[in-house]
């Protein structure tokens, strides 16, 4: 199996790095070529463009920002799309709406390509450690073909059924993540406002029944005032919009998420979009006047 990886951003670079670390001979491509240099230094081959990448591989893993990026990279809705993707298996690992993914599957099948949805749970640090949690959906033969590759980037992978059930699972997981981290930021601000000993608060939270890898990681960032992005705030807002749209379509209320949505939008408007999602604390501070 010849493997290509497209989209070398915050997540894509460490994910492709996991493949290289496990000895996969990888061709990579990124719109901004310079972002491929660290992987080339580790043995990946940098393709000169998407046509060259598609020529060099049978399976293309994409870790791109959104559906527009996937369409642009695959040349979807252009004359050459069918010819360039035919015979390939496209593995869509970024987060998009389930509806988008279902329509991409239809187009790829019509063009003679296979399609697998493989969104991941976990941010930059689990990606660097190869400890993401992968969700897989699609035609079973194609899923079985690519699962060993996805396994190399993940602590666990789970089969979700047909497209778009992996992405819908991912949105359910992210609904919990967003409300969890926003609740943590609100608790931290509450503790600060009451002049509590913050180190004690942190130790109690880390030892208590709600502690998790996410709460401990985000708490450490709040303690250190470290807002460098692991899960970028504007990306969280994008996810929030996707979840809200899916919830509305299914007729299920999301009152907690709706509050989070406002807070993340406020934090982005304050200029924190490029920082980590814990920067939502700035929206809470701003509301205090
Ligand atoms: N960060 C997380 O914690 C996390 C966790 C799980 C899932 N996700 C999802 O994974 C995906 C990637 O996230 P990320 O954090 O890695 O994002 P990122 O750092 O912003 O990287 C986005 C990638 O998409 C490429 N891209 C964007 N627009 C493009 C276009 N029009 N044409 C070609 N390439 C384009 C970028 O290329 P350039 O380098 O040229 O800009 C870059 O390679 C998103 O869907 C996100 O929701 C993120």
Q: How far is the CA of 70 from the centre of ligand 1 (A)?
A: 10
Which ligand 1 atom sits nearest the alpha carbon of residue 230? 3
Distance CA 218, CA 239 (A): 18
Tens digit of pLDDT for each residue in 20-33? Answer: 999 999 999 999 99
Tens-place pLDDT, residues 55-83:
999 999 999 999 999 999 999 989 999 99
Q: Which of the four pLDDT bands, split at 50, 70 and 90, describes residue 1?
A: confident
Span 36-51, mean pLDDT? 96
- 119-146 pLDDT, tens digit each: 999 988 999 999 999 999 999 999 999 9
Average of per-residue pLDDT values in the chain? 97
Q: Any residues with Cβ below 6 Å from ligand 1, and which? A: 7-12, 30-32, 35, 63-66, 68-69, 72-73, 94-95, 120, 123, 231-232, 235, 239
Q: What is the pTM of this model?
A: 0.95
Residue nearest (by alpha carbon) to ligand 1 atom 21: 9
3-state SS string over 106-167?
HHHHHCCCEEEECCEECCHHHHHHCCEEEEEEECHHHHHHHHHHHHCCEEEEEEEECCCHHH
Q: Is the pLDDT at 289 greater than 80, yes or no?
A: no
Mutate to test the pocket of ligand 1, among 64, 171, 229, 230 (most ligand atoms within 8 A of CB): 64
């Amino acid at each position: 199996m010849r493997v290509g990886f497209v989209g070398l951003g915050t997540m894509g670079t460490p994910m492709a790095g996991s493949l290289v670390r496990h000895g996969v001979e990888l061709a990579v491509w990124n719109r901004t070529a310079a972002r491929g240099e660290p992987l080339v230094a580790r043995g990946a081959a940098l393709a000169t463009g998407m046509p060259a990448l598609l020529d060099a591989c049978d399976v293309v893993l994409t870790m791109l920002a959104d559906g527009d990026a996937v369409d642009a990279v695959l040349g979807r809705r252009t004359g050459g799309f069918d010819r360039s993707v035919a015979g390939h298996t496209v593995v869509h690992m970024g987060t998009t709406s389930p509806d988008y993914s279902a329509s991409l599957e239809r187009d790829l099948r019509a063009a003679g390509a296979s399609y697998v949805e493989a969104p991941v749970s976990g941010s930059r640090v689990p990606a660097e450690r190869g400890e993401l949690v992968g969700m897989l959906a699609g035609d079973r033969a194609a899923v079985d073909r690519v699962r060993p590759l996805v396994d190399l980037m993940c602590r666990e992978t789970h089969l979700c059924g047909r497209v778009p059930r992996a992405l819908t699972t991912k949105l359910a997981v992210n609904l919990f993540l967003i409300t969890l981290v926003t609740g943590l930021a609100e608790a931290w601000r509450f503790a600060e406002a009451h002049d509590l000993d913050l180190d004690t608060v942190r130790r109690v939270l880390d030892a208590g029944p709600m502690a998790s890898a996410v709460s401990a990681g985000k708490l450490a960032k709040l303690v250190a005032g470290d807002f460098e992005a692991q899960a970028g705030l504007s990306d969280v807002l994008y996810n929030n919009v996707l979840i809200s749209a899916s919830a509305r379509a299914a007729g299920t209320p999301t009152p907690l998420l709706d509050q989070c949505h406002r807070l993340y939008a406020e934090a982005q408007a304050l200029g924190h979009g490029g920082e980590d999602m814990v920067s939502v604390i700035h929206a809470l501070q701003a509301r205090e006047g």
